[in-house]
Amino acid sequence: MHALVLFRPGPGEPPSAELDAAHVSFIVEMAAAGSIVMGGEFDRPAGDFAFAYVIRCGTLEEAEVIAASEPYVRADAFLAEVVEWRLVGIVLDAFRDVADATAPDW
């Protein structure tokens, strides 16, 4: 299954450089494990949400555990909302150019 995790600003302090680095490390680790399969920030807020990612997991509860372990969430800089995403299809070729052009240099 897949889950969409949406993030809105939380009650904590805005992210610091140290927290940003912890977030990047977390994303790299989760992507390497095959858990986070895509993500990014919005060019403008979508409602209250600032960014999102898609998690591939066995259960919604597993996705909620991953989202709760996100450094931004642990620091209350962002709050996560996890919803099941019933993915019905994907055109892989539509993402090849984007993946090549935006590959992170972490």
pLDDT digits (tens, 9 = 90+) for 76-97: 999 999 999 998 887 777 777 6
Residue 106 counted as domain residue = no
Residue 42 counted as domain residue = yes
Q: How far is CA 91 from CA 33, 88, 94, 96, in A?
A: 23, 11, 6, 10
The pLDDT of residue 105 is 53
Domain count, the chain: 1
Sheet holding 49-56: strands in order across? Answer: 36-46, 49-56, 2-9, 78-85
Residue 87 counted as domain residue = yes
pLDDT digits (tens, 9 = 90+) for 13-22: 999 999 999 9
Residue 85 counted as domain residue = yes
Task: Enter the pTM of the model.
Answer: 0.84
pLDDT digits (tens, 9 = 90+) for 27-84: 999 999 999 998 999 998 899 999 999 999 999 999 999 999 999 999 999 999 999 9
Q: What is the maximum span of the chain, computed from C-alpha positions, in angstroms?
A: 40
